[in-house]
A and B are shown apart, each in its own frame.
Chain A
Amino acid sequence: DTGVSQDPRHKITKRGQNVTFRCDPISEHNRLYWYRQTLGQGPEFLTYFQNEAQLEKSRLLSDRFSAERPKGSFSTLEIQRTEQGDSAMYLCASSRTWEAFFGQGTRLTVV
């Protein structure tokens, strides 16, 4: 499968714990995005990388959230001190030009 890959697919964590998600973009895609989607809503933009540089961050991205793309390939999204409101589907997408392709997402449940 040469599409965008995300790991894990599902994560259940207790409130207050830290979690980290991984995204592997389509090879040769230099642009990578993180979105969050809750039930009945469209994806909400979180952050954007071009190569290893984080160029854009949403106001939604509190200081508990951090994202990295150290070598311009895969990316990680970490949420510290998780809260129940963090429960959502976290989607990664990548693009080379305009068209963005999404991964299957990581579904986070905070209990």
Chain B
Amino acid sequence: GENVEQHPSTLSVQEGDSAVIKCTYSDSASNYFPWYKQELGKRPQLIIDIRSNVGEKKDQRIAVTLNKTAKHFSLHITETQPEDSAVYFCAASPANQAGTALIFGKGTTLSVSS
């Protein structure tokens, strides 16, 4: 089955710096890759996603890139702010239709210091 690896497990940056989190997946049939942000004690919240027919997607300070050949995708956060501090999870959907299971990475704890 699908396996998602996420790196690094922790990331500390200064406010205003960029942060990059990388994930690899094993199932070449996976074609949907969301990223979730989870603050302490709160629900995971979808922040950006990408489908396999797109190589890059951007939403303000957040961008995601996908390399299907290498089976990896990355989250880029620019101009980080203290409120970006949270655990970030990548995920992959190992099916070619909406609505099936998401397989999550183990998460990256991002700390942004001011």
A binding-site residues for B, Cβ under 8 Å: 4, 31, 33, 40-45, 48, 50, 56, 58, 91, 95, 97-105
Question: Which chain A residue shows the least CB distance to B104?
Answer: A42
Point out the residues of chain B lying under 8 angstroms from A44, CB to CB. 104
Best-buried of A98, A102, A105 by chain B (most CB within 10 Å): A98
CA distance A103 to B45 in the complex (A): 9
Contact of A48 with B99 at beta-carbon distance under 8 Å, contacts A42-B89, A91-B43, A104-B42 already known: yes
Check A102–B44 contact: CB distance below 8 A: yes
B binding-site residues for A, Cβ under 8 Å: 4, 6, 32, 34, 36, 42-46, 49, 51, 89, 91, 93, 98-107
Check A48–B43 contact: CB distance below 8 A: no
Check A100–B89 contact: CB distance below 8 A: no
Q: Summarize B's interface: helix, strand, loop or mixed.
A: strand
Check B98–A98 contact: CB distance below 8 A: yes
Check A40–B107 contact: CB distance below 8 A: yes
Q: What 6 pairs between A and B have smallest CB-CB spacing? A: A42-B104, A45-B101, A31-B99, A102-B43, A98-B98, A97-B98
